[in-house]
Structure 1
Amino acid sequence: MNHELPDVLVGFRKGRETRGQIASIIEKVREFQKNIYFCFIDYAKAFDCVDHNKLWKILKEMVIPVHLTCLLRNLYAGQEATVNTEHGTMDWFQIGKGVRQVCILSPCLFNFYAEDIMRNVGLDEEQAGIKIAMRNINNLRYADDTTLMAESKEELRSLLMKVKEKSEKIGLKLNIQKTKIVTSGPITSWQIDGETMETVRDFIFLSSKITADGDYSHEIKRCLLLGRKAMANLDSILNSRDTILPTKVRLVKALVFPVVMYGCESWTTEKAEHRRIDAFELWYWRRLLRVLWTAGRSNQSILKEISPEYSLDGLMKLKLQSFGHLM
């Protein structure tokens, strides 16, 4: 079934990730000194608005095997719900919309539903977008998080209005208040159907900060701050004398490291960022050992006592793994 989905759709597909794609595009745009305009679309209750009858029609048009479509239809057939209130229970009613929560099939079904929108818009034939290596890229998608991109405000507005129109035809409505424009060009206000769409220099997308200028220093500072908060949440355990040191170290590696290193594969790091990460690591190991900076102990002695996997080594391993995957 994956052969029906394009490369720009990466949500819930093994070996693909959106943040790295966006980072690569920003890097290339900066290299050629072009402006870039991103629109991060937010759909209102996207997974709850999938119309079942339209979904089966879309699967048929995409030549999904009939027996699989029949299995899915049987899975969703005859669904009913009711509402309990303080005044009693309402009459039961049929459910004709929405994919199931916590079902492993739901993301896949939504991918097909969203792909139908883009095919009807005709984004593959659109000239608007970012030109890289003889290819035009104007959208990237992670499930219901759709990102449109272009080199000018006018091109992006045209793409957005087309996607909005086709989305509404199958029951998906844009949440204008949560839809954001990120640009390296002049910041101007956007009006869509009488509502103002916010234009910003950076945006938190899939839990990572995206900046139009590709500067990751702010994202690294943000991740280190989140790491401090994660460390603070463990205070009761880390300060307990009933918990042995190896257990505390494993907890930090499992619950603090991932917070700090999330999305690091796409970071562009310089010496200043390396020093900042070094300082953060030594801060939490000293905090774990209850060793003050005024105690006169060297950093080497702290690391020797903890014997951790060095965080910068972990950063480089993740970056190399990501690079190897791309190659």
Structure 2
Amino acid sequence: MGFPPHLIVMIQSLYTNQEASIRWNNQHTESFKILKGVRQGCILSPHLFSLYTEQITRETDVDQYGIEVGGRKISNLRYADDTALFAKNHEEASKFIEELNKAGVSKSLKLNAKKTKYLYIGKNHQPISFEEENIEKVNTFKYLGSLKADSGDNTNDVNARIGMAKKRMQDLVNIWKDKTITLQLKIKIMKTLVWTVMTYGAEGWTIKKKQEKKINSAEMWLYRRLLRISWRERRTDQSILEELNEERKLLNYIKKKKINFLWAHMPK
């Protein structure tokens, strides 16, 4: 990959004759040698693992696989050991997996068929197999915290994010109860600690009227929890917004995130 020899030697020295022991009940086992893996807690380890998987990917010749997105061919997405492969059809997907595994085995990394899933967008899907074992087909799967669906719909992800935001809101109940914290500060805390949970990955959402309604409803639920208003009180949304001196802003916040994301990735 073009790294200078002195840098390679320096990194090799970190992994030469490594030893470790296990501490249990304030006692240590005898030392043993570490022959595989990267060092836990070392800031260099994620980069080394990324280089490791990059070399495997290069040996697979990934350019012959993938799908066209905006005039650019994308064959894979990788973050640490989370890898997503893209293929136009079942035959290409099977070949891609076989070649990637072959390159990985040469570097002591083997693909686990049981932990591998595939999502097919379209009709007339056929099974994808690896080493005579069918890979499980799923309708949705989670990648880096976001739910992806074979329908291309974001409803599952939106619902999941709303659920996580509500849980975070409940976890912070002691803050909402605290009368020494001003209302404006509570709103800022909510937007910082709760809205960010709900809108994670929202840059990739395609928001339809149904999702807009869910998001607006979730925003008012959060405001009600902040004010600790019971549903029995039959308060209107408008009266709650007036008490908070707020407007509905969550949907616009999400749209702004989408615009900022697009702007950041546009060619300048």
Q: 2:201 aligns with which of 263, 272, 283?
A: 263
SS in 1 for 2:135: strand
Letter in 1 for 2:106: K
Distance of 1:246 and 1:252 partners within structure 2? 10
Distance of 2:148 and 2:160 partners within structure 1? 12
Matched, 1:212 2:159: no
Matched, 1:151 2:85: no
TM-score normalised by length of structure 2? 0.87
The 5-angstrom pairing of residues 239-258 of structure 1 reads 239-241=177-179, 243-258=181-196
Q: 1:104 aligns with which of 43, 62, 66?
A: 43
Matching residue of 1:229: 167
Distance of 1:133 and 1:312 partners within structure 2? 26
Matching residue of 2:238: 300
What is the Cα deviation at residue 257 of structure 1? 0.8
Give the conservation status (yes or no) of the 8 Å contact 2:176–2:228. Answer: no
The 5-angstrom pairing of residues 86-125 of structure 1 reads 90-124=29-63
Matching residue of 2:116: 179
Residues 175 and 286 (structure 1), Cα distance of their counterparts in 2 relative to 1, 3 Å cut: same
Distance of 1:236 and 1:187 partners within structure 2? 50
Distance of 1:154 and 1:195 partners within structure 2? 15
Matched, 1:312 2:251: yes
SS in 1 for 2:54: helix
Letter in 2 for 1:177: K
Letter in 1 for 2:263: G
Q: 1:79 aligns with which of 13, 18, 30?
A: 18
Letter in 1 for 2:211: E
Letter in 1 for 2:114: Q
SS in 2 for 1:177: helix
What is the Cα deviation at residue 135 of structure 1? 4.7
SS in 2 for 1:150: coil
In the TM superposition, what whole-angstrom CA distance separates every residue of 1:183-205 from its partner, at most 9, and x where no partner exists? 02445544433544210121111
Letter in 2 for 1:313: N
Residues 212 and 92 (structure 1), Cα distance of their counterparts in 2 relative to 1, 3 Å cut: same
The 5-angstrom pairing of residues 282-293 of structure 1 reads 282-293=220-231
What is the Cα deviation at residue 305 of structure 1? 3.0
Distance of 2:246 and 2:14 partners within structure 1? 49
In the TM superposition, what whole-angstrom CA distance separates every residue of 1:93-134 from its partner, at most 9, and x where no partner exists? 22232122233222221121111112211222x2x3324566
Distance of 1:245 and 1:262 partners within structure 2? 25
Distance of 1:323 and 1:190 partners within structure 2? 34
Distance of 2:33 and 2:221 partners within structure 1? 57
Identity of aligned residues (%): 37
Matching residue of 1:192: 130
Letter in 2 for 1:146: T
Matching residue of 2:75: 138
Relative contact order higher in (CA < 8 Å, ≥ 6 apart) = 1
Distance of 2:199 and 2:71 partners within structure 1? 33
Matching residue of 1:23: none
CA RMSD of aligned residues (A): 2.5
What is the Cα deviation at residue 233 of structure 1? 1.9
Where in structure 2 are there 5+ consecutive unaligned residues?
A: none
Give the conservation status (yes or no) of the 8 Å contact 1:188–1:199. Answer: no
What is the Cα deviation at residue 243 of structure 1? 4.4
Residues 152 and 239 (structure 1), Cα distance of their counterparts in 2 relative to 1, 3 Å cut: same
The number of residues matched between the two structures is 263
What is the Cα deviation at residue 242 of structure 1? 5.1
TM-score normalised by length of structure 1? 0.72
Give the conservation status (yes or no) of the 8 Å contact 1:187–1:200. Answer: no
Letter in 2 for 1:261: T
What is the Cα deviation at residue 75 of structure 1? 2.9
